[in-house]
Chain A
Amino acid sequence: MTAPGPFPTDHHRVENEQDRLLHHLGKSTEPPLAAVQRVERRVKTSLQATASPWRWWLAPSLAAVAVAVLFLARGPEPALYSVDPLSGGIAQVRGPSEDGPRPDFDDVSQLLWVARPEVDVAVDSGKVQAQVWGRGPDGVWRPLAFDLAPSASGAYVFQGAASKFFGDHIGPWSLVFAIGSRSALAGPPEGWLSHPGAEIQVFRARCRYLGPANDGPPR
């Protein structure tokens, strides 16, 4: 297969009127040399732009460096005790060194969770309840706390040694802090997680329980 020449003006065979129409279109769509040169310049400019080190090598490299810097400068890893950002709950642990959040819990760690309802969940304030449930490495949900009372500021606080709640179940834990009416909170937490409604607020966190610590007795 070869490249065709320009539109054949003198030697084409006109078969019928439709072909005449088409040949008229053929003549009027014959690209002038200026158009060819214009497109060639545009293509070469585009290719040079995309082939420049800035576009294909330098820019991605700088972006990778920037991401790495941000990654290193972002502070302590929050994911291990992360809380569902939609819920607004707070989970943290106080270890023996008092040096702030730690990524993992051991049995001397104090589990502290302060949850403050973002909206008024109290359909009937006399029936509002806060519960904390945990699902350990064996996949079983366990109630960790019931009937938490709100503080004067309206926050609900869940606190205690990790080993008190987690026992011998070493491994990843999923924690759920739920505030709502007693009727809404009846039953296991699967229903709350899949159908959180207006009557209930659910805060979630993930952590890893390391078991008994070797760095000294509980304080």
Chain B
Amino acid sequence: MGYLETVMQGGGQARLRSRVEDGEESEAAAVVRRAQAGDVDAQNRVFRTWLPVVLRWCARLGGPRVDPEDAAHDVFVVVMRRLGDVERPDRFSSWLYGITRRVLRQHRRKVWLTRWLPEREVDEEPAEDGTGCGETWAAANELSRQVQGLLEALPAPQREVLVLCVLEDRTVDEVSTLLGIPRGTVSSRLRLARDKLGRLAKARRLDQHFVPTEGRA
């Protein structure tokens, strides 16, 4: 089973990427190269591999009023049009994250400008293709929205480090590469973000939400 397929297996898999070896890494880069050359299968694999990642980024970094599906759509339209511009396929994720960041900034600006308008009604009807209704999966419950509110109160650089390190379980090295900043900066931002988030959670009485029944690894 190739790396890309393995990644998409999901479920209770262990931290797959920490086990990924160099050969598997280069396979991902090779897929990007083939996609650049117009290989439709490779382009579909880029979709299958990276679209869920981008959707997560959009849902977690976009804030409560940004529609993650709209944002991910815009990101991937740019990605597929500019795929040929990728000079380092082995750094595809950094390139992709840069595009996501820019698109999210545009979407956040747009919702900020229209913040006084009434929120869009959520379509409760399933989609015609039977895949269920959109817009309801991301942070659908009240606690998630409150946590999103906490994240929104953080400065953007701290928020993205916290999301990537804690929500996405990436290592400091990975985040350093992804954001193109030194490891020490990632660590310090992470520490500041944790401190501030802890204070905010306490102030909003969200820190007592969970009874510590889960075993700690």
Q: A7's contact among B167, B207, B214, by CB below 8 Å, is which?
A: B167
Binary A-proximity of B80-123 (CB < 8 A = 1, otherwise 0): 11000000001111100000000000000000000000000000
Q: Is the CB of B60 within 8 A of A25?
A: yes
Q: Considering residues A7, A15, A30, A31, which has the most beta carbons from chain B within 10 angstroms of its beta carbon?
A: A31
Q: Is the CB of B12 within 8 A of A4?
A: no
A23 CB to nearest B CB, Å: 7
Which residues from chain B contact A26 at a C-beta distance below 8 Å? 60, 166-168
B40 CB to nearest A CB, Å: 11
Given known pairs A5-B10, A35-B55, A36-B51, the reply for A19 and B216 (CB within 8 Å) is: no
Q: Is the CB of B14 within 8 A of A11?
A: yes
What is the total number of residues of chain B having a CB less than 8 Å from a CB of chain A?
79
Given known pairs A21-B207, A29-B56, A29-B60, the reply for A42 and B73 (CB within 8 Å) is: yes
Docked CA distance A14–B94 (Å)? 27
Q: Considering residues A6, A23, A40, which has the most beta carbons from chain B within 10 angstroms of its beta carbon?
A: A6
Given known pairs A24-B143, A46-B73, the reply for A39 and B25 (CB within 8 Å) is: no
A63 within 8 A of B: no
Docked CA distance A11–B81 (Å)? 37
Which residues from chain A contact B24 at a C-beta distance below 8 Å? 2
Docked CA distance A166–B25 (Å)? 80
Which residues from chain A contact B72 at a C-beta distance below 8 Å? 39
Given known pairs A5-B13, A21-B201, the reply for A39 and B206 (CB within 8 Å) is: no
B203 within 8 A of A: no
A1 within 8 A of B: yes
Docked CA distance A21–B201 (Å)? 9
What is the total number of residues of chain A having a CB less than 8 Å from a CB of chain B?
43
Which residues from chain B contact A25 at a C-beta distance below 8 Å? 60, 139, 144, 147-148, 151, 167
Given known pairs A17-B208, A38-B69, the reply for A43 and B80 (CB within 8 Å) is: yes
Q: Is the CB of A39 within 8 A of B69?
A: yes
Which residues from chain A contact B148 at a C-beta distance below 8 Å? 25
Which residues from chain B contact A28 at a C-beta distance below 8 Å? 138-141, 144
Q: Is the CB of A3 within 8 A of B60?
A: no
CB closest residue in chain A, given B61? A29
A12 within 8 A of B: yes
Q: Is the CB of A14 within 8 A of B55?
A: no
Interface residues of B (CB under 8 A from A): 3-4, 7, 9-17, 20, 24-25, 28, 47-53, 55-56, 59-60, 68-69, 72-73, 76-77, 80-81, 90-94, 127, 129, 131-132, 134, 137-141, 143-144, 147-148, 150-151, 162-163, 166-170, 174, 177-178, 194, 197-198, 201, 206-210, 212, 214, 216-217
Known: A5-B15, A32-B137. 16 other contacts (CB 8 A): A4-B17, A6-B52, A10-B12, A17-B198, A18-B198, A18-B201, A20-B212, A24-B144, A25-B139, A26-B167, A26-B168, A28-B140, A35-B131, A36-B48, A43-B51, A50-B77
